[in-house]
A and B are shown apart, each in its own frame.
Chain A
Amino acid sequence: MTISRREFIRLMGMAGAAGMLPASTFAAAKRPSDLYEIPKFGNVCLMHMTDCHAQLNPVYFREPSVNLGVGNAYGKAPHLVGNAMLKHFGIENNSIEAHAFSYLNFDEASRAYGKVGGFAHLASLVKRIRSERGNENTLLMDGGDTWQGSGTAYWTRGKDMVGACNLLGVDVMTGHWEFTYKDKEVIENIGEFKGEFIAQNIHLNEDAQFDYKFSEFSGYNEDDNRAFKPYTIKNVGGARVAVIGQAFPYTPIANPQRFMPDWTFGIKDDAMQEMVDQVRETEKPDVVVVLSHNGMDVDLKMASRVTGIDAIFGGHTHDGMPAPTVVKNPGGKTLVTNAGSNGKFLGVMDLDVRGGKVRDFRYRLVPIFSNQLPADHEMQSYIDNVRKPYKDVLEEKLAVAGETLYRRGNFNGTFDQIICDALNTVNDSQISLSPGFRWGTTVLPGQNITMDHVMDQTCITYPETYRREMSGEDIKLILEDVCDNLFNDDPYFQQGGDMVRVGGLDYVCRPNNKMGKRISNMTLDDGTPIDASKKYVVGGWATVGSKSPGRPIWDVVADYMRLQETVSIKKLNTPKLVGVDGNPGVG
């Protein structure tokens, strides 16, 4: 069942649309008649999209049921799931917002409310807001992870998304997966992008400084050694808005450095402070915001250390947060938002800016329900054209989903399990490892799994598979290393991905422990303990060191699916968690 717009509005009236708003801020707000009636406020409207992962068409996307916070992050946004998250943000159970922001009742609610996202629907909303607020009073920011994540993005080397963003009218962006094309392609794509690409935290490394191959690139500054323009000043609603870019700090660690040999990244919060001070001093802005791909936990820490930022618009960790976190620092307060992923949301922050200062704000993370927002014709025909050459390949039906197939969550999702099972079956390995990315769309039970879905889950520029021997000790080392990227109690040591997915391997995980002490009781599927000194045949993909020799992962997964009519998992290799009882980050 899919409900119509009219039916939807009726239901919304009944459910009480105010439920999506944090009770503290919006208790008195008048209940809007529909989800997209966003009351005007102030004079500056900043729109923010992030981590769409090249999803041009509407998709299903299940929010996580496990998103643990450890140490200081325990029980705080974004480490809240299910009912705990609804309660924290004052969202009514069983409402459309509860469906948008949580995994609860996912299949049924997905069937009722339909797909989310899609650039044509997003474009309608953006146009509506621009016309309501006045074009000159709005700015559209894109936090990155836009050029990667679909078959068409991969085959066009990100260009389909550059075109779509130009059509959407993105004013300013920063990046992460953008850098996983060849550096030459990154520079070319930025050249075709009509907005501005900014990043204060990417510099040339020492070798590149001697003879830089992109010395002619307009964003490069020889004096401060930055590879890209660090910030931009925009006139919005009569105010001077400074937007400082912060690219994903750990790109050359989380992704292959060979694609970006000349650039060095990092959090560089001291450089951020200098940049904020310099911008405030020389540009005299009314508003200073950061467009960040740090990930929410890193943004929260950065906001507590760096002063002079009004708001950080964050991404990377794919946390669809209905309201900003207000962070105190020695200079005042900074708002930290995170706008989800896969094109599912548009963040809308309205600011009242007067006398050179932000006086007040309103924020909403607006879910894009494609049944409730008309498709913008121009964008839809662009998307159809982009997909045309690849349509037959992408729409190949591989199998039927025997259950909900999803990825997002700290540990194995069901789609990850399929990938791991495919590796073990097709490549004949005992144990398989698959990266804990946070992108990848969801397939409902009974839905056809197409090549599109497989590409959504696997599409990277280093998709090659491997099959090699590893000792039990090596495998534990890998699990410990990745687990520390996730659960280190200092956010600056977190890389923002989830735990490595495993097939054919069970283990016990203690997230609150220190590195080296989190993983124990490793066994094969049949219960045989893993021996530290014994060798095991391990299959995997997405190696960040040197290129692996095997076929691309999507071919392996497609082969596995073609062998079956209905694809289900036999067993979910999710670890037994110890020490997380009562943690509101587990559903």
Chain B
Amino acid sequence: MSTDTKRRLFLKGTLASGVVALAAGAGLINPRQVLAAWPKSAFEAKSVSEAMKGIAGTDTAAGNDKITIKAPDIAENGAVVPVKVDATKISGVDSIAIIAEKNPTPLIANFKMGKSTHAFVSTRIKMGKTSNVIAVVSAGGSVSTARKEVKVTIGGCGG
């Protein structure tokens, strides 16, 4: 089996587990190598709207309070901001994408879920400046989102 095939199988079974997210965050796995249909235009899109169209086919998805995003209010280090998205309250999740609104290329990741996968992803993302982190969840053809602001500050001057 080639390395890529192994990776693909590995991803298929356990994509959403923390281990994989960690590996992806650490740069061990390059999504470009493992996803069969690499949505190049979405990942290179310069706006949230384009990125969403590229991965979900629409840029007008409703907010959904069944999705929770866990991320710091203020990032300790903009280069590695921990983000967790929990969509386990939604059934039949096909994918979870993470978008950093003000990044030059906003789409950070799009996790494809296997059939029996727990719809929870955890990773670390890079953020240049204060912006919303948006989770885009696709489930059975319906797309919904949640957002949380993460502040990236120059720091200093604490009391």
Contacts and interface: CB of A to CB of B under 8 A. Distances in A.
A408 B77 CA distance: 29
A496 B153 contact: no
Given A478-B154, A481-B154, A253 B76 contact: yes
Interface residues of A, number: 42
Given A206-B22, A493-B151, A436 B157 contact: yes
B32 to A, nearest CB: 23
Contact of A492 (B73, B130, B154, B155): B73
Given A206-B22, A253-B153, A481-B153, A497 B72 contact: no
Contact of A496 (B73, B155, B158): B158
Nearest to A477: B154
Interface size class, chain B: 10 to 19
Interface string B11-30: 00000000000100000000
Contact of B157 (A264, A435, A545): A435
Interface string A427-450: 000000001111100000000000
Question: For the complex, would chain A's binding face be called helix, strand, loop or mixed by DSSP majority?
Answer: loop
Contacts of A435: 156-158
B62 interface: no
Interface in B135-159: 151, 153-159
A437 B22 CA distance: 37
Interface in A250-270: 250-255, 257, 264-267
Nearest to A439: B159
Nearest to B71: A266
B159 A253 contact: no
Nearest to B151: A493
Nearest to B68: A270
B86 to A, nearest CB: 12
Contact of B158 (A266, A481, A495): A495
B158 A248 contact: yes
Given A265-B76, A267-B73, A493-B74, A253 B157 contact: no
Nearest to A252: B76
Contacts of B124: 206
A493 B73 contact: yes
Interface in B71-96: 72-77, 82
A442 to B, nearest CB: 16
A266 B157 contact: no
Contacts of B22: 206
Among B72, B153, B154, B159, the most chain A Cβ lie within 10 Å of the Cβ of B159
A254 B153 CA distance: 9
Contacts of B82: 206, 264
B113 to A, nearest CB: 23
Contacts of A316: 159
B138 to A, nearest CB: 26
A452 to B, nearest CB: 21
Main SS at interface, chain B: loop
Contacts of B130: 515
A344 to B, nearest CB: 15
A545 B22 CA distance: 26
Nearest to B156: A544
Interface string A386-430: 000000000000000000000000000000000000000000000
A482 B156 contact: yes
Given A257-B77, A265-B76, A493-B73, A498 B156 contact: no
A492 B74 CA distance: 9
A530 B64 CA distance: 46
A232 interface: no
Contacts of A295: 159
A495 B72 CA distance: 13
Contact of A542 (B72, B74, B156): B156
A495 B157 contact: yes
A542 B22 CA distance: 34
A364 interface: no
A157 interface: no
A254 B156 contact: yes
Given A206-B22, A492-B73, A254 B158 contact: yes
A337 interface: no
Nearest to A492: B73
A360 B75 CA distance: 40
A42 B62 CA distance: 54
Contacts of B153: 253, 481, 484-485, 495
A517 to B, nearest CB: 14
Nearest to A435: B157
A250 B158 CA distance: 8
A500 B159 contact: no
Interface of A: 176, 206, 248, 250-255, 257, 264-267, 295, 316-318, 435-439, 477-478, 481-482, 484-485, 490, 492-493, 495-498, 500, 515, 542-545
Given A497-B157, A498-B159, 17 more contacts: A206-B22, A254-B155, A266-B76, A316-B159, A317-B159, A435-B157, A435-B158, A436-B157, A437-B159, A439-B159, A484-B151, A493-B73, A493-B74, A495-B159, A542-B157, A544-B156, A545-B155
14 contacts: A176-B158, A206-B82, A252-B77, A253-B75, A253-B155, A482-B154, A484-B151, A492-B73, A495-B153, A495-B158, A495-B159, A497-B159, A542-B156, A544-B155
Ranked nearest first, the 8 interchain pairs of A and B with the lowest CB-CB distance are: A254-B158, A438-B159, A497-B159, A435-B157, A544-B156, A497-B157, A253-B155, A496-B159
